[in-house]
Each structure stands twice: as structure tokens, then as C-alpha cells.
């Protein structure tokens, strides 16, 4: 068969800690040699300066992405430590090389030539030149050294923050009585310690406790424990905020946010704050109505169980009563629904959706041919379905279950960006989904709650973006788009998880595989889509406005006070007298989303516009899928995002569908 022997071998994962260090050092050495050659170039051109650096960054970036990935997934602490150290060394190296005046002079010489090149190459030249300017090449030598020292400090803080989060092993001990209401298949996965049950802060442990534990005190302890799980990180974020302001001020920006946003679709902090505050104003009234209803439900529930009345609705009550409301008024029983979404068959069917929409084939690699970093992983060779001659697309990995030392959320990692090499040959992408869904037990397979189905489909969307993108340069591959657009393609795909036909297709009862989810249950799920949507989005606004408050400040902000005050004011939910430190595990702010969390809401505007204009009439239309793939996904970041949207939509994007979806307008 055409797809039996991919033209590019899968990565090898059999590395020792020493090999990780050696590989990283070899990559940095090769990059430095290229930069030295560029700096020494006496007749600089686009090809021997800009393209040369871009190609070498593509070659070495694929290697460094792999060696720095081990810190997120390896069960071997020595490997994780070596990987984390490699990441820190690489970032320090990148700071050094990005501030080399000799390299900048040759880049500037090419920029002044204004060479006649294609659109993607022109964008590469512009970004390369601006990256040097934004790294201080317009400053004096003394100021550059000062800026470099600050950037290295920030980098070190970010690496340590991430490492602390990855190594987190906190827990809370509960008696079985304290866990009353929590499903038995959750409790049976808790280890026993001194006669009590150990709830870790991994998602499959803490979320069910917050959703099902009848005791408010149990929920409070679970919530506060989870919020305060990596306290060493508090000081690291606080210091990073201060240093980021210093760096921005050196470069003559009003704030760190304005420095960051210059390269985003939003362009400046004023635009972001206007967007967020307008959305907050539109949603607060809706949130208050939802909160009043939840408070009524809490009062009735406590009375029915003979518990003392409480006059406050606390933040740790939210997941419990949100779930109870869905069950009582919308017949949405998350446990019952999960029975129809066993992970294996659901994921297989998700892949089938992409096979139809984007004309792809996913061929799982098994047996001795498999090349993975852990036995839990799945590996796929992905092909473009071309009649008679399938074309290889790239490698896809799934790592689905929690384990000690593993990255604790759900994310897509671009391990190897695609690009065209120096010989004009295609280098194919490698991408991985790292998730934390519950493990199968002796009695049941891993069953996905509906929100987990949505989460996986979202992350798979990022993976597909990586796979189907085709760019000349690694810098623009796949999800390397403007950060405030990167979520839009995945958010758009979430709509499939609320469409009756697609839900029916994705479902299969774990005890009766031929039995799909029934229509009444589907109606319940669809009706529940925006239940408490005001409160949900106000929570997102808290994160986004907190991020902006930190990064529009002069760095001397009381981070703990801002976190707690803003949460109560914006989310409308009381923390009682608890002071929490949830920013200590708010990894986005130390992982590339600083001044960028607003992007989750900003990009929803585009996601809604794309879905309703392109797919709503027929979500499985391959023609629409092909247009979307070629116009939005294929160019990656090589073209302007607004231009791509206008080409797909046939008009400028607008927020009409977004506001209608949120229920805050009748437009």
C-alpha cells in the first residue's frame, strides 16, 4: 500500500539524559556556526542571510523541540531535569544570538535592499528584522547588555515555574464519608494513605470532587488546595512581571502588554481592554441572573439534606451546583453521558470526521514499528487521501492519561514544524496531543465526559492545523500564527461537539457498542450548551483582565491582591475569607501567553464567524472543509490572518455570530 512506508521516519525517543544534553549542545553549536557565517557575509542577500538562518532554525528547531519535550512527558526524573535544563540553556542561547549586532547589520543590509521575493519570504524578512529591533539592537551596547541580563532572568524564572508545575505532587486526604456523592469509579482510583483517600490535583481527581462532593467543606478544601498547589511559583511570577516591565521600558514601550501586542492582531493594550471591558459589561447582568438561580438551588439542596442554611454562594460551590442544575433542569447526567463516549471509539470517530472534512487518512502504528516515549502513547502516520497515490502528511501522537511528572493539562505540542528544505524537499510535521483523561479500570474503559470530548476535539484541532499546514519556512508552520488567532481554528471545531448528528456519530455505549446516544439525551446536551455561560465567560474575563492588569502595570503590583480582588469582582463568586494563590499554577502567564490570555475570547469571535458562515448549514461538507483547510489552515502564519479570513468569508470578519452565540444580543 502507498501509505505503508512514510518518506520520513518517526522520531526516536530512546534518549538518555546525557544524550539530551549533548544533542541540545550540538544544535546550539550548529546554529551559532550559521549565525557566524551570516555575520561574516560580505555580500549579504536574502538567500545567504535571511533564508539561510530560517532553514537552519528549521533543522535544529525540530531537534530542540524534541529534547525539550521530555520534561513534560517522561517518567524518568533525570530525563525531565535534563530536558528542562536544555530548555533553559536554549533560551539563554537564543537571547544571546538574537542580540548580536554583527548579525543584525547583515539582516539590516538585506532589509534596506527591499529584495523582490514572494509574500511568505517578504514576511520572513520583515519579522526577522523586527525581532532584532525588538530585542534592543537600536540601543547602545551598554543598554543591550542590561536588557540581555533582564531577559535571561525572565527566561530562568519561566523555566523554573514550568518545572515546578510539572513536578507538582500535592494532594488532600479525605475520609470516605467526606467524599460522599463522588462517583465510586473515581474514588476507587484514589490511593489510600493512613486510612484516608488521596485526592491529587490532577484533573481526573480534583474535578469530580468539586463536581460531586456533597460536603461544602470538602469542596472548599479541594478548591483551596488546588489553588495553592505550587506556592514556590508565586514569587517567580511576581518577579517576572517586574522584569518584563523593565525590559519594555528599556525598549521605550509604555508597558509589557504594549510590547507584546504590537505583533498581535489586537495591536495594543487599549484595544484589548476595550474588548474585554465591553464583553464584561454585556455579560455581568447575565451572570448575576445565573448566580441567583444557583444560590436558590443551593438553598433548596441544603434544606433537602437537612444541612444548615448558608447565605453565601462560594466559588467552590460553582461546579457542584452547575452540575446539579444540568441534571435537574436539563437532564444532563455527566456520568450517564460518559457511558456513550468510551475514549478509544470516540477518538477513532473524531479522526474519521477529519478524514471526511479534510480528506486525510490516519494509520495507527503498532507492534515493533511503534516509536513512542511511553507505553500509553498512540502513534499515527497521517496521509492525504489522494486517489491512487496517497501523500504523506506527517506524524501524530496521543498521550492520554495522567502520571507522575507529566504535564497536567491538555495541550498540543508541535514537535517538528514542517518546511521546505534547502534542496526543495518537504520536511513533514510531527505533532503530539498530551492530555489527562481518566485511566481505564478493570470494570470500565476510559469514559469521556462531554466536556472532555470538547477538550479533546479542541486540542486535536491544533494537531490538525500542524499537520495540514504547508509553508516554506518553519517559523510560519501550522499554529505559528498571531497568538490571538491561534485558538480560533480549534474553537471553531468545538461546534461539532454540540451538533446532534455529530454527537450521535461520535457515541457508542461502552457495554453495547452498537447503541448510540439517544435523541433525548442529545437534546439535553445541546440545550445545556450555554447554561451558566455568563458565569463561565466572566471566569475567563477574570483570567484575561488579571493578565492585562499585571502587564499594563509598572511591575510594582500586588499580585496576590489583584488575583483575589479581581476574581471576586469580575467572576461574581465569593471566596469567603480565603486568600488563594491560583496564579501560582496559571501556566499561561509563564508559558508564552503573557498579555495574551484575552486571545481565548478574542479568537472566539473569528471561530463563531467561520462556523456559522461556512459550516453551520452542513458541518460535514467536504467542499467547505477543503476551502477552510486551504484558506485558513494551510498557510499557517505565512499570510495575514485578517486577509485569510476575508478570503474565506467573502467579507471582513465581524462579531455578530459571536455575540449571538453568547446570548447577549439578538443580532
Instruction: Specify whether 45 is located in the same domain as 186.
Output: no
Q: Is the pLDDT confidence value at 17 over 80?
A: yes
Instruction: Specify whether 199 is located in the same domain as 125.
Output: no
Catalytic annotation present for 459: yes
- How far, in Å, CA of 602 to CA of 487, rounded? 9
Among 188, 204, 227, which residue terminates a domain?
227
Residue 78 resides in a domain: yes
Q: Is the pLDDT confidence value at 1 over 50?
A: no
How is residue 46 annotated by DSSP? Answer: I
Q: Which residues contact 367 (CB under 8 A, 6 or more apart)?
A: none
- How far, in Å, CA of 396 to CA of 381, rounded? 6
Which runs of consecutive H residues, i.e. helices, occur in 74-118?
77-97, 101-113
469 within 8 A of 634, measured Cβ to Cβ: yes
CA distances from 197 to 167, 183, 220 (A): 21, 14, 16
Instruction: Specify whether 356 is located in the same domain as 214.
Output: no
Instruction: Specify whether 413 is located in the same domain as 505.
Output: yes
pLDDT in tens, 260-303: 999 999 999 999 999 999 999 999 999 999 999 999 999 999 99
Instruction: Specify whether 105 is located in the same domain as 200.
Output: no
- How far, in Å, CA of 28 to CA of 86, rounded? 10
Predicted confidence at residue 386, as pLDDT, reads: 86
How is residue 193 annotated by DSSP? Answer: E
Phi, psi of 383 (to 5 degrees): -125, 150
Among 138, 156, 189, which residue terminates a domain?
138
Output the 3-class SS for 353-416.
HHHHHHCEEEEEECHHHCCCCCCCCEEEEEEECCCCCCEEEEEEEEECCCCCCCCCCCEEEEEE
44 within 8 A of 129, measured Cβ to Cβ: no
Instruction: Specify whether 57 is located in the same domain as 186.
Output: no
pLDDT in tens, 361-420: 999 999 999 999 999 999 999 999 888 788 999 999 999 999 999 998 899 999 999 999
* Domain coverage including residue 358: 343-531+600-662
Instruction: Specify whether 379 is located in the same domain as 511.
Output: yes
Mean pLDDT of 164-185: 95
What is the length of the chain? 667
CA distances from 444 to 72, 154, 182, 336, 545 (A): 27, 45, 17, 13, 41
Number of domains in the chain: 3
Instruction: Specify whether 182 is located in the same domain as 79.
Output: no
Residue 514 resides in a domain: yes
Instruction: Specify whether 421 is located in the same domain as 491.
Output: yes
Residue 56 resides in a domain: yes
378 within 8 A of 370, measured Cβ to Cβ: no
* HSE-CB for 226 with a 13 A CA cutoff: 22
Query: Collapsing DSSP states into helix, strand and coil, what is residue 451?
Result: helix
Residue 12 resides in a domain: no
Query: Collapsing DSSP states into helix, strand and coil, what is residue 492?
Result: helix
Predicted confidence at residue 665, as pLDDT, reads: 66
Q: Is the pLDDT confidence value at 3 over 70?
A: no
- How far, in Å, CA of 464 to CA of 457, rounded? 10
- How far, in Å, CA of 640 to CA of 99, rounded? 27
- How far, in Å, CA of 257 to CA of 242, rounded? 12
Predicted confidence at residue 4, as pLDDT, reads: 67
Instruction: Specify whether 118 is located in the same domain as 205.
Output: no
- How far, in Å, CA of 400 to CA of 372, rounded? 13
Which H or E element spans position 433? strand 430-434
Q: Is the pLDDT confidence value at 666 over 60?
A: no
Among 227, 242, 264, which residue terminates a domain?
227
CATH of the domain at 477: 1.10.1370.40
Which H or E element spans position 199? strand 196-200
Q: Is the pLDDT confidence value at 599 over 50?
A: yes
Cell numbers for 161, please give them: 515555574
Residue 9 resides in a domain: no
Q: Is the pLDDT confidence value at 562 over 90?
A: yes
Residue 383 resides in a domain: yes
Radius of gyration of the chain (CA): 25
Q: Is the pLDDT confidence value at 468 over 90?
A: yes
pLDDT in tens, 24-67: 999 999 999 999 999 999 999 999 999 999 999 999 999 999 99
- How far, in Å, CA of 346 to CA of 509, rounded? 10
Instruction: Specify whether 50 is located in the same domain as 189.
Output: no
CATH of the domain at 41: 1.20.1050.40
Instruction: Specify whether 175 is located in the same domain as 57.
Output: no
Q: Is the pLDDT confidence value at 78 over 50?
A: yes
Predicted confidence at residue 494, as pLDDT, reads: 97
Residue 212's pLDDT band (cuts 50, 70, 90): very high
Residue 2's pLDDT band (cuts 50, 70, 90): very low
Residue 145 resides in a domain: no
The residue assigned the cell 467543606 is 217
595 within 8 A of 261, measured Cβ to Cβ: yes
Q: How many helices (H) and strands (E) does the chain have?
A: 25, 10
Q: Indicate the average pLDDT of the chain.
A: 96
Which H or E element spans position 434? strand 430-434
* HSE-CB for 633 with a 13 A CA cutoff: 24
Q: Which of 120, 459, 487, 499 is catalytic?
A: 459
The DSSP secondary structure of 307-330, one letter per residue, reads PPP-S--BGGGHHHHHHHHHHHHH
CA 169 from centroid of its chain's CA atoms:
22
* HSE-CB for 38 with a 13 A CA cutoff: 31
Q: What share of the chain is helix, strand, coil (3-state, %, to 5)?
A: 60, 10, 35
Residue 313 resides in a domain: no
Amino acid at each position: 500500500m502507498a501509505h505503508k512506508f512514510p518518506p520520513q521516519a518517526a522520531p526516536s525517543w530512546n534518549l538518555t539524559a546525557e544524550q539530551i544534553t549533548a544533542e541540545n549542545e550540538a544544535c546550539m553549536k550548529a546554529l551559532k556556526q550559521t549565525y557566524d557565517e551570516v555575520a561574516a557575509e560580505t555580500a549579504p542577500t536574502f538567500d545567504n542571510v535571511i533564508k539561510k538562518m530560517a532553514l537552519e532554525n528549521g533543522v535544529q528547531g525540530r531537534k530542540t523541540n524534541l529534547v525539550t519535550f521530555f520534561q513534560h512527558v517522561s517518567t524518568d526524573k533525570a530525563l525531565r531535569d535534563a530536558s528542562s535544563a536544555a530548555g533553559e540553556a536554549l533560551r539563554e542561547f537564543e537571547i544571546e544570538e538574537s542580540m548580536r549586532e554583527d548579525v543584525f547589520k547583515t539582516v539590516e543590509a538585506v532589509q534596506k535592499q527591499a529584495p523582490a521575493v514572494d509574500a511568505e519570504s517578504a514576511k520572513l524578512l520583515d519579522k526577522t528584522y523586527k525581532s532584532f529591533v525588538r530585542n534592543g539592537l537600536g540601543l547602545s551596547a551598554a543598554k543591550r547588555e542590561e536588557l540581555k541580563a533582564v531577559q535571561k532572568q525572565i527566561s530562568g524564572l519561566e523555566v523554573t515555574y514550568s518545572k515546578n508545575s510539572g513536578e507538582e505532587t500535592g494532594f488532600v486526604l479525605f475520609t470516605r464519608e467526606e467524599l460522599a456523592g463522588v462517583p465510586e469509579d473515581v474514588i476507587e482510583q484514589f490511593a489510600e494513605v493512613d486510612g484516608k483517600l488521596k485526592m491529587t490535583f490532577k484533573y481526573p481527581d480534583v474535578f469530580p470532587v468539586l463536581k460531586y462532593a456533597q460536603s461544602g467543606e470538602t469542596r472548599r478544601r479541594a478548591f483551596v488546595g488546588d489553588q495553592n498547589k505550587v506556592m514556590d511559583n508565586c514569587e517567580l511570577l511576581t518577579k517576572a512581571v517586574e522584569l518584563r516591565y523593565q525590559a519594555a521600558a528599556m525598549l521605550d514601550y509604555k508597558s509589557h502588554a504594549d510590547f507584546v501586542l504590537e505583533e498581535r492582531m489586537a495591536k495594543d493594550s487599549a484595544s484589548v481592554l476595550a474588548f474585554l471591558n465591553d464583553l464584561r459589561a454585556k455579560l455581568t447582568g447575565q451572570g448575576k441572573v445565573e448566580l441567583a438561580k444557583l444560590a436558590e438551588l443551593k438553598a433548596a439542596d441544603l434544606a433537602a439534606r437537612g444541612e444548615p442554611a448558608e447565605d453565601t454562594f462560594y466559588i467552590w460551590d460553582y461546579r457542584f451546583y452547575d452540575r446539579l442544575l444540568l441534571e435537574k433542569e436539563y437532564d444532563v447526567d455527566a456520568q450517564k453521558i460518559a457511558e456513550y463516549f468510551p475514549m478509544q471509539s470516540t477518538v477513532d470517530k473524531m479522526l474519521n470526521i477529519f478524514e471526511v472534512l479534510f480528506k486525510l487518512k490516519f494509520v495507527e502504528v503498532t507492534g515493533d514499528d511503534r516509536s513512542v516515549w511511553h507505553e500509553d502513547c498512540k502513534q499515527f502516520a497521517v496521509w492525504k487521501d489522494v486517489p491512487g497515490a496517497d501523500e504523506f502528511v506527517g506524524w501524530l501522537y496521543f498521550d492520554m492519561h495522567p502520571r507522575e511528572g507529566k504535564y497536567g493539562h491538555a495541550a498540543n505540542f508541535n514537535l517538528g514544524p514542517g518546511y521546505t528544505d534547502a534542496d526543495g524537499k518537504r520536511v513533514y510535521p510531527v505533532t503530539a496531543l498530551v492530555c489527562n483523561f481518566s485511566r481505564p479500570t478493570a470494570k470500565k474503559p476510559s469514559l469521556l465526559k462531554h466536556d472532555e470530548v470538547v477538550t479533546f476535539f479542541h486540542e486535536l484541532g491544533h494537531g490538525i492545523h500542524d499537520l495540514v499546514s504547508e509553508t516554506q519556512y518553519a517559523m510560519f508552520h501550522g499554529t505559528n500564527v498571531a497568538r490571538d488567532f491561534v485558538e480560533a481554528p480549534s474553537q471553531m471545531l468545538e461546534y461539532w461537539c454540540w451538533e446532534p448528528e455529530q454527537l450521535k456519530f461520535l457515541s457508542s455505549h461502552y457495554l453495547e457498542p452498537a447503541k448510540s446516544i439517544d435523541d433525548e439525551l442529545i437534546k439535553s446536551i445541546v440545550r445545556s450548551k450555554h447554561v451558566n455561560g455568563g458565569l463561565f465567560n466572566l471566569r475567563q474575563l477574570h483570567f484575561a483582565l488579571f493578565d492585562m492588569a499585571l502587564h499594563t502595570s509598572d511591575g510594582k503590583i500586588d499580585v496576590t491582591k489583584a488575583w483575589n480582588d479581581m476574581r471576586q469582582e469580575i467572576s461574581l463568586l465569593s471566596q469567603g475569607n480565603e486568600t488563594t494563590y491560583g496564579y501560582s499554577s496559571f501556566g499561561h502567564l509563564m508559558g508564552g501567553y503573557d498579555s495574551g490570555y484575552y486571545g481565548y475570547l478574542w479568537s472566539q469571535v473569528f471561530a463563531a464567524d467561520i462556523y456559522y458562515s461556512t459550516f453551520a448549514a452542513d458541518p460535514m461538507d467536504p467542499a467547505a472543509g477543503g476551502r477552510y483547510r486551504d484558506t485558513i489552515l494551510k498557510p499557517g502564519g505565512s499570510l495575514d490572518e485578517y486577509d485569510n479570513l476575508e478570503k474565506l468569508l467573502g467579507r471582513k470578519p465581524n462579531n455578530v455570530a459571536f455575540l449571538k452565540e453568547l446570548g447577549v444580543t439578538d443580532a
